[in-house]
Amino acid sequence: MSNKSLVLGLAVAVSLGSAAKASVILNGSLETVGTSDGVNLSQASGQNLTIPNWSVHGVAGAGFNAVYDYGVVAGPLPAYMPASYNSCTVLLGFVGGNSCTNPDGTGHFVNLDGDPSFPAAISQTIPVGTNPLVALVLGQQYALTFSWAAVQRNDQFGPTTESLSVSLGSNLLFSPSSTSLPAGGFSGWFTKTVNFTYNGLGTTPNVLTFLASGTPSGLPPSINLDGISLNVVPEPASWGLVITGCGLLFFAHRRRKTAVD
């Protein structure tokens, strides 16, 4: 095999592998501007706290309730999280197979109030274009991945049910069965990947929205959210090129090694 073919195979494999990992979502880790922990972003305009690239829908009394920001400022137990948040106890709602710690690592995450009277949400408007690595492209398949957890803030007490819905425009991408928690409960972190093909339908077809809901009113039920990514899914033919490229590299390496021996 020529050096030119070897380099070409490597370039194909690397470029396609990078395409599969490139996220169209900006600031998927939900890092905020300013230092905060347990701050209500819905009412924080005077505190210069925002989530870059995201819109917060949680202005009290205007159809939504609170979107809270949590970080590592207060130490290992974020403000207002229950004791079970660290212990991950099955009797307090922890779901086997979930992650006890945030899969997205340290840093900020948001907590969406799921009160049925004022469900809270965040959203991001994603560009539409011709390059699927940076925009939504009609007919292109994508994989949306995110981590979420059902939790009851430690300033409330009583059993709750929580749910998270994810939509792109008018298309519902994800809506699981409600997660039931005892008082002070924590489900642990679920990580979910949803594959979909972008069809551009609806009045806001490129607005990605995460919305919390639950029962009962006043306790409140809430959802933690973090680690959001939106990646293009390579076509089967592209994966074949990746495999072929890797195979060529392997056999070229063996051939060179045999020649040296």
Taking only the tens place, the pLDDT of each residue in 27-36 is: 999 998 877 7
- Nearest of 226, 237, 195, 191 to residue 54 by alpha carbon: 226
pLDDT in tens, 94-135: 999 999 999 998 889 999 998 887 778 999 999 999 999 999
pLDDT in tens, 191-204: 999 999 999 988 89
| 111: three-class secondary structure by DSSP | strand
Higher pLDDT, 84 or 59: 84
- Of 37-46, 114-123, 233-242, the one with minimum mean pLDDT is 233-242
- DSSP assignment, residue 45? G
Kindly tell me if the per-residue pLDDT of 234 is higher than 60.
yes
Q: What is the pLDDT of residue 151?
A: 95
Q: Give the number of other CB atoms < 10 A from CB of residue 17.
A: 14
Q: What is the pLDDT of residue 180?
A: 95
Q: What is the pLDDT of residue 75?
A: 67
42, 50 Cβ separation under 8 angstroms: no
Higher pLDDT, 238 or 223: 223
The confidence band for 21, taking pLDDT boundaries of 50, 70 and 90, is low
- Nearest of 131, 98, 105 to residue 22 by alpha carbon: 131
Q: What is the pLDDT of residue 164?
A: 95
Number of helical H runs and strand E runs in the chain: 3, 12
Q: What Cα–Cα distance (Å) separates residue 89 from each residue in 159, 242, 246? A: 15, 43, 44
41, 68 Cβ separation under 8 angstroms: yes
Residue % of the chain over a pLDDT of 90:
52
Mean pLDDT of the chain: 81
| 121: three-class secondary structure by DSSP | strand
Q: d(Cα 46, Cα 49) in Å, to the nearest integer?
A: 8
Q: What is the pLDDT of residue 13?
A: 41
Q: What is the pLDDT of residue 246?
A: 45
Q: What is the pLDDT of residue 134?
A: 94
